[in-house]
Amino acid sequence: MLKTAIVFPGQGSQYVGMGKDLYDNVELAPIKSGLARQLFDQADEIIGSQLSKICFEGPEDELRQTKNTQPAIFLHSVILLKLLGHNFDAVCTAGHSLGEYSALVFAESLNFEDALRLVCLRGELMQKAGDEQKGTLAAVVGLGPEVVKEICKEASSAGIVQCANFNSPGQIVISGSVPGVHKAMEIAKTKGAKMVKELVVSGAFHSPLMQSAQNGLINALENVMINDARIPVYTNVTAKPITKSEEIRSSLEKQVTSAVLWEDSIRNMINDGVNSFIEIGPGKVLQGLIKRINPDVKTIGIDRHQDISTLLNSYGK
């Protein structure tokens, strides 16, 4: 018997053209996609800018700006979710960094409008923090978490650096000041890392250099209605399931400067009985990570209009 979790991607999964097929295909079976057009138009109105145009046409440099990337991915994910409706059962949910907001909409803890405004603010604050406190990220492949933590501790003499994403076995992202991350990269190479690669990003996400963004989000979260989740949400900060509104608020407050415990989140879901995952949103990043964490579970992705038909016609058979 399938026990399914829904997961939502974060920053880095965007691509120019995302969502355009949903906007254009108004009458294709098995669903009426006029809803997608309504939601894109509603989002443009709420934000006060043409986010839909950036999603559909780019340019890529503009879509890649954190202030645009985050609401774009969130909007695409939630529109897909709403087009699917209640045509499948899920026992729990999670999202990678930004994707946690999509997961909370799915779990009915946040409503669409509030979540969109929060995500827009989050993107703006994180981009501003990156401009004010220059930092970077690097992927470290082939070393265990304890080794990478020790490397960061050793490199901290050069500047701020810490583990930012524990994505899958042997794939960890570090974050911090440019000197700190560069020093950690040098040490990782001497420790036998298979690959060490600096990432093209606009800031030191999930590190103390995002503290100003976190402060701004805390203020905004105080004025947002957060409900208890209808299903467990496995959070980035603890990798554990939560449902209570106060726990959800606390998790969102800490998330921007805390590490994303993705591998542990997936393992905990599997240990709790999940054996299939549906990734809803642009790209296939999470499906790849999940397969590296446990190749025996079932994965499927919903990114385009035709994927909705595939899911409704075949998933679970």
Of residues 115, 119, 157, 102, the one with CA closest to residue 279: 102
Which residue shows structure tokens 């057009």? 37
The 10s digit of each residue's pLDDT in 147-167 is 999 999 999 999 999 999 999
Confidence (pLDDT) at 238: 98
Q: Is 96 considered catalytic here?
A: no
Confidence (pLDDT) at 112: 96
Residue 299 CA to residue 5 CA, distance in Å, equals 10
Other CB atoms closer than 10 Å to residue 313's CB: what's the count?
9
Identify the helix (H) or strand (E) that includes residue 164.
Answer: strand 161-168
Tokens of 178: 């440019």
Q: What is the CA radius of gyration of the chain?
A: 19
> Do 204 and 136 form a contact (C-beta atoms < 8 A)?
yes
> Do 259 and 76 form a contact (C-beta atoms < 8 A)?
no
Confidence (pLDDT) at 26: 61
Confidence (pLDDT) at 116: 97
Under-50 pLDDT residues of the chain:
29-30, 316-317
Confidence (pLDDT) at 317: 45
Other CB atoms closer than 10 Å to residue 310's CB: what's the count?
13
Backbone angles phi, psi at 26, to 5 degrees: -75, -35
Residue 242 CA to residue 312 CA, distance in Å, equals 28
Q: Pick the catalytic residue: 206, 207, 251, 305? A: 206
Of residues 77, 33, 32, 72, the one with CA closest to residue 49: 72
Confidence (pLDDT) at 139: 97
Confidence (pLDDT) at 27: 56
* Helix, strand, or coil (residue 317): coil
Confidence (pLDDT) at 108: 97
> Do 175 and 152 form a contact (C-beta atoms < 8 A)?
no
Domains and CATH numbers, the chain: 4-131+208-314 (3.40.366.10), 134-199 (3.30.70.250)
Q: Is 276 considered catalytic here?
A: no
Q: Pick the catalytic residue: 13, 52, 77, 97? A: 97
> Do 303 and 281 form a contact (C-beta atoms < 8 A)?
yes
Residue 162 CA to residue 246 CA, distance in Å, equals 27
Confidence (pLDDT) at 89: 83
pTM greater than the 0.85 cutoff: yes
Confidence (pLDDT) at 29: 47
